[in-house]
Structure 1
Amino acid sequence: MSTPPAVRIVEVGPRDGLQNEKTQVATADKVELIDRLSATGLRSIEATSFVSPKWVPQLADAAEVFTAITRRPGVGYPVLVPNEQGYERARAVGVEEIAVFAAASEAFNRTNINASIDESLARFAPVMARARADGVKVRGYVSTVLGCPYQGEVPLDDVVRVARALHEMGCYEVSLGDTIGVGTPHKARAMLRAVAAQVPMPALAVHFHDTYGQALSNILACLEEGVAVVDSAVAGVGGCPYARGASGNVASEDVVYMLHGLGIDTGIDLPLLAQTGRWLAERLGRDTGSKVGKALAQP
């Protein structure tokens, strides 16, 4: 099996990475983070989330952040929206790409949003309709594709069904997320193959958390199947608050280092990305979660 010649990294640090931080991150620091990331050669940076501030207080400044960032030509700045109200807030500040989020686990849906999988998908219909009418791109996320903190194993059929539904609703790309980081390469490969039988591989991305240290191995297994889009977070920030021992998203620096070692083009300046990760970690008051970031900091 061969890997793709080029891979697009979707940087999720400013949204998925920061949303569970206990200490409030200053709006100016969020803006600087996104601007620093924009300078590294990244082409997709998930900027923030227009969810209710009551549920995610860390991202209550979504409108202020999006308005203040310097949007570079050729770089996408998607934002997460949960419903029509979030969509309206996002559009009011000039958002041109959104993301919607669904879980493949019935238990996860029931526990977190008090709805079934089908009910949660139905809620996206009006958002998708408005996005289509406005010419707004929509990316879809499927969480808990390799395990759920409440029900354990998640049937592959459910993962395939949700991914296919999002694609058929109009998502140009569907990101398959191992939310609690329990996946291993064999399972990751099997999951991707099952989904790719129903959704074209060019419309798929993978999103791994590194709870058990398996994220890079899982990504490599999926690259060998032909996936060419990988989600990651600078400095390895983030992590599911419901996962035991969650250590965060796979670090963008570590993913880029591996990809470059495989001869895969990313268009990203790795030293600059690592520097940005260390800058962010300093702002958060801890060491970077990237092994590459630490190694490149050594004299």
Structure 2
Amino acid sequence: MGVREIGLPEVTRSPESPELPEKVTIWEVGPRDGLQNESGAVPTAVKLEFINRLNAAGLPVVETTSFVHPKWVPQLSDAAEVVDGLARKPGVRYPVLVPNERGLERALSSGVEDVAIFASATESFAERNLNSRFDDQFAMFRPVVRKAVEAGVRVRGYLSMVFGDPWEGQVSVDRVVSAGRRLLEMGCDRLSLGDTIGVATPGQVEAVLRAFRAADVPVGRIGVHFHDTYGQALANTYAALRMGVSTVDSSAGGLGGCPYAGSATGNLATEDLVWMLQGLGIEHGVDLKMLVDASTWMEEQLGKPSPSAVVKALAR
């Protein structure tokens, strides 16, 4: 299976849109968030080859795995083997998710330089995903962040259910901002706002980002993480870009979901994001042909087609 020889969209940077960032950092989550929900075991060698192909495509950040207990996410039980087998590319970051202090210890013993924690903006998801109350999760994460920072490791704070929760419905913007600030204040250097079940709309995205701005949280410390359940992921990303966000999470081929939120479908496809960024004249550093090649290769390994519109259009 190859990629059609077709030009990228013409670069059109509108002078009427000076608020768009000149460069976007794509935070690739395919190997971790993309594969964690696959029912069939993906061999370690396949995961490493996937990462190598994403490296070759020029992605600056490739989130590789999670040091979660194998009981909860069996797909990622080979976390240490994946990290140990990485063919690291200079200048590329390889963060891993850590759920608690034990996960951090395992990650540090593998020599990681970037970790992420995964918090919830709602009580219901904190209970289901973390087995914790909303307030208690911060007490659980505080020593994790402290020990990581002391070890010279950067910490990213994921905040899930920012725009809606399947058990609680709409989530208060004030609650989201309060939770996000708590993660930053405990030592996270960046915050990723997650639309875990894909219900956000551009107006909601703008409202949340304006609220963080009003709370004196620099937009440079915020990333966005959209799912495409209602087909709004690209529109929501564009809204975030217009608000000054310059870090966007995505998954090659649109892989992913959330094992603890049944209504969550795939992540924003990295290929779809790159196509849009190219057309907007925003620097991204990714070779789209090589990226589509990586996703079509993974299609074959998983035995199912990619949901990415760009992959469908360019692959044959």
**In which range does the TM-score fall when normalised by the shorter chain?**
over 0.9
TM-score (norm 1): 0.97
2:174 is matched with which residue: 133, 137, 157?
A: 157
- Aligned-partner residue type, residue 137 of structure 2: S
Measure, in 1, the Cα distance between the counterparts of 2:128 and 2:86.
35
Q: Which residue of 2 aligns with 1:113?
A: 130
Q: Which residue of 2 aligns with 1:238?
A: 256
Measure, in 1, the Cα distance between the counterparts of 2:305 and 2:131.
37
The answer as to 2:158 corresponding to 1:141 is yes
Retained in 2: the 8 A contact 1:167–1:174? yes
Measure, in 2, the Cα distance between the counterparts of 1:27 and 1:153.
39
- Aligned-partner residue type, residue 276 of structure 2: M
Q: Which residue of 1 aligns with 2:284?
A: 266
Q: Which residue of 2 aligns with 1:6?
A: 23
2:199 is matched with which residue: 182, 188, 213?
A: 182
Instruction: Please give the per-residue CA displacement for 1:201-232, whole angstroms capped at 9, x wherever unaligned.
Output: 00000000000000000000110000000000
TM-score (norm 2): 0.92
2:274 is matched with which residue: 256, 266, 284?
A: 256
Q: Which residue of 2 aligns with 1:192?
A: 209
Measure, in 2, the Cα distance between the counterparts of 1:65 and 1:203.
28
* Aligned partner of residue 162 in structure 1, secondary structure: helix
Instruction: Please give the per-residue CA displacement for 1:239-290, whole angstroms capped at 9, x wherever unaligned.
Output: 1245565430010000011001100000110111111111111111011121
Q: Structure 1 residue 10: deviation in Å?
A: 0.2
* Aligned partner of residue 284 in structure 2, secondary structure: coil
- Aligned-partner residue type, residue 146 of structure 1: F
Q: Which residue of 2 aligns with 1:59?
A: 76
* Aligned partner of residue 100 in structure 1, secondary structure: strand
Retained in 1: the 8 A contact 2:117–2:157? yes
Measure, in 2, the Cα distance between the counterparts of 1:60 and 1:204.
29
* Aligned partner of residue 32 in structure 2, secondary structure: helix
Larger RCO, structures 1/2 (Cα 8 Å, 6+ apart): 2
* Aligned partner of residue 115 in structure 2, secondary structure: strand
Q: Structure 1 residue 35: deviation in Å?
A: 1.0
Measure, in 1, the Cα distance between the counterparts of 2:151 and 2:262.
41
The answer as to 2:65 corresponding to 1:70 is no
Measure, in 2, the Cα distance between the counterparts of 1:244 and 1:113.
16
Q: Kindly tell me: are residues 61 and 244 of structure 1, through their superposed partners in 2, closer, same or farther at Cα, counting changes over 3 Å?
A: closer
The answer as to 2:68 corresponding to 1:47 is no
Measure, in 1, the Cα distance between the counterparts of 2:310 and 2:194.
23
Q: Which residue of 2 aligns with 1:290?
A: 308
1:204 is matched with which residue: 222, 227, 233?
A: 222
Measure, in 1, the Cα distance between the counterparts of 2:263 and 2:119.
23
* Aligned partner of residue 19 in structure 1, secondary structure: coil
Q: Which residue of 1 aligns with 2:13?
A: none
Give the fraction of aligned pairs with identical amino acids, expressed as a percent: 56
RMSD of equivalent CA atoms: 1.2
Q: Structure 1 residue 138: deviation in Å?
A: 0.4
Q: Which residue of 2 aligns with 1:126?
A: 143
* Aligned partner of residue 71 in structure 1, secondary structure: coil
Measure, in 1, the Cα distance between the counterparts of 2:272 and 2:47.
22
Measure, in 1, the Cα distance between the counterparts of 2:213 and 2:88.
33
Q: Structure 1 residue 48: deviation in Å?
A: 0.2
Q: Structure 1 residue 124: deviation in Å?
A: 1.0
Q: Kindly tell me: are residues 81 and 244 of structure 1, through their superposed partners in 2, closer, same or farther at Cα, counting changes over 3 Å?
A: closer
Q: Which residue of 2 aligns with 1:84?
A: 101
Retained in 1: the 8 A contact 2:63–2:94? yes
Measure, in 2, the Cα distance between the counterparts of 1:111 and 1:168.
25
- Aligned-partner residue type, residue 163 of structure 2: L
User: Relative to structure 2, which stretch is displaced further, 108-117 or 212-221?
Assistant: 108-117
* Aligned partner of residue 116 in structure 2, secondary structure: strand
Measure, in 2, the Cα distance between the counterparts of 1:27 and 1:244.
26
Between Structure 1 and Structure 2, how many residues are aligned? 298
Q: Kindly tell me: are residues 20 and 3 of structure 1, through their superposed partners in 2, closer, same or farther at Cα, counting changes over 3 Å?
A: same
* Aligned partner of residue 141 in structure 1, secondary structure: strand
Retained in 2: the 8 A contact 1:209–1:250? yes
Structure 2, unaligned runs of 5 or more: 1-16
Retained in 1: the 8 A contact 2:63–2:95? yes
The answer as to 2:271 corresponding to 1:279 is no
